[in-house]
Amino acid sequence: MKSKDKILITKILKYIEELQEFIDGYSYLEFEQDKKTISACVFHLSQIGELSGRVSDELIKENSRN
């Protein structure tokens, strides 16, 4: 794995862990009413999307399930 890919994957995993922490213990109704948590989750999901778009084609090919 390229150094750049390793950094990207590490950041993606960090965002995923934080997302899990944000919603831990919330019911759907509680989450739905907490605009700050919703905003934080949306931000993290957008960061994950941005970072995943920068992963090398090589890494994607190595890990595809075709």
User: For the chain, where are the alpha helices, taking DSSP H only?
Assistant: 3-23, 28-33, 35-52, 57-62
Per-residue pLDDT at 40 exceeds 80: yes
63 vs 43 pLDDT, higher one: 43
Query: What's the pLDDT tens digit per position in 49-60?
Result: 999 999 999 999
Please indicate, yes or no, if residue 18 is contained in any of the structural domains.
yes
Query: Residue 35's domain spans which residues?
Result: 3-59
How many distinct structural domains can be found in the chain?
1
Are 7 and 52 in contact, with CB atoms under 8 Å apart?
no
- 0.95 surpassed by pTM: no
Confidence of residue 65 (pLDDT cuts 50, 70, 90): confident
Please indicate, yes or no, if residue 53 is contained in any of the structural domains.
yes
